[in-house]
Amino acid sequence: MHQLRSVIFVSLLSAAVVQIVERHDLIIDTDPGADDVVALLLALASPDELNVLAITTVAGNVRLDKTSRNARLAREWAGREEVPVYAGASKPLVRTPIYAENMHGKEGLPGVAVHEPKVGMAKGNAVDYLIETLSKAAPHSITLAMLGPQTNMALALMQAPEITQGIKEIVVMGGAHFNGGNMSPVAEFNIYADPHAAQIVLASDVKLTYIPLDVTHKILTSEQRLKQIAGLNNQAGMLVCGILNEYVKADMAHYGLPGGPVHDASVIAYLLQPELFTGKQINVAIDSREGITFGQTLADWYDTLKQDKNVFWVKNGDAQGFFNLLTARLSRLK
């Protein structure tokens, strides 16, 4: 009997160990954007795993004033007004600014009403915040989720390259290889919007993970999945359904897909449940030359060039697992 009890205790202890999830000190750099807001709600509803230190905004899907407002709206909807929001770069490093109002609408949030949030922006600039925070951080302690153009981080690295010491990992929503691009046959929006910035981050030698269109176009909405979220009967569920029902229409029409992707939320899901995703370490380069390949991520999946493997490239994801996670976390919000 004593031996049986010991076996049971060890089994329970092992199960408990399996349940321990790594907690990230996290900065979210973002350009909200419909899918960005879903990502923010998912992150802010997951405080046990994600200690969100701050949200930094950048121009991208819409102009900076609107991305900054939308980030604060997401914060308000999540009931997390204590998380500071810092405004960052209003334009790319080199290229002419572009926006994605055709996908996200003029306000950057299709399908829902927007208003000026009660709590304002944090004082100071996002780039200065990144430099100060990462400079003072313990070695390799802070994770960054980069959901838009990488302009803020590139500017920070240009001014203070030593900040890499504080970075544990950068997880980027960006790039495309097997799937093809959404701005050109080879370029994805977040990279295309500022490829020079993406090159600087890539050259910094930090640990990088890319969540490209290759995987986000496999994690699609469906009538049943959105019905499951709507069935929560809370404000967060209704907001997400309103946003996604409108946002996914363009991609469904353009690609002939049965549902639409929720690109940026896949980054947060990867941090919460990495077991939902698979990929491998490969070499990635970014093309910033003017021409038809501008903004391309050259992902050497088969190691043809025998170059340094500088990015963990995610190729596949569990779509139902993603939506189960999203639904469960949204149920925690009002």
HEC sequence for 84-122 = CEEECCCCCCCCCCCCCHHHHCCCCCCCCCCCCCCCCCC
E strands, 16-159, in order: 24-30, 50-57, 85-87, 142-146
Q: List residues bridging with 5 in a β-sheet.
A: none
Between CA 210 and CA 317 the distance in angstroms is: 13
Instruction: Look up 263 and say whether it is catalytic.
Output: yes
Between CA 30 and CA 60 the distance in angstroms is: 8
Contacts of 22 (CB under 8 A, 6+ apart): 49
Between CA 207 and CA 311 the distance in angstroms is: 7
Structure tokens at 107: 């306000």
Catalytic choice (104, 177, 217, 263): 263
Between CA 324 and CA 229 the distance in angstroms is: 9
Q: What are the residue numbers of the active site?
A: 263
